[in-house]
Structure 1
Amino acid sequence: MDSHNSHDSQQQTIVESEHYNSTMSFQSPIELKHSGPGIASFIISLVSLLGYIAIVAIAGALIGPYLEPNGNGFIGSPSREMVTNLGTLGIVVIVFLLSNLIGVILGIIGAALKNRKKVFAIIGLIMNSIVLVVLIAFFVISIISATTIT
Structure 2
Amino acid sequence: MGIASFILGIISLVVFIAAIIVSTTFIMDHITLNGNSNTIRTDIEEQLKDANDVIPLIVAFLMMLTSFGCGVVGLILGIVGACSKGKHKAFPIIGIVLNALLPVGFVTLFLLGIALSGTS
Query: If the TM-score is normalised by the length of the shorter chain, which range does it land in?
Result: 0.7 to 0.9
TM-score (norm 1): 0.65
Higher relative contact order (CA 8 A, sep 6+): 2
Unaligned runs of 5+ in 2: none
Correspondence 1:53 to 2:24: no
Report the count of equivalent residues: 113
How far 1:91 sits from its partner (Å)?
2.4
Following TM superposition, where does structure 1 have runs of at least 4 consecutive aligned residues deviating by more than 2 angstroms?
Answer: 69-75, 80-85, 142-149
Partner of 2:81: 110
RMSD of the alignment, in Å?
2.2
TM-score (norm 2): 0.79
Structure 2 residue identity aligned to 1:53: I
Name the structure where helix makes up a greater proportion of residues: 2
- 1:73-88 alignment runs, 5 A limit: 73=37, 74=40, 76-77=43-44, 78-79=47-48, 80-88=51-59
Partner of 2:66: 95
Unaligned runs of 5+ in 1: 1-36
Choose from 85, 95, 114 the match for 1:124: 95
Q: Is the 8 A contact 2:2 2:91 kept in 1?
A: yes
Asked which structure has the greater CA Rg, the reply is 1
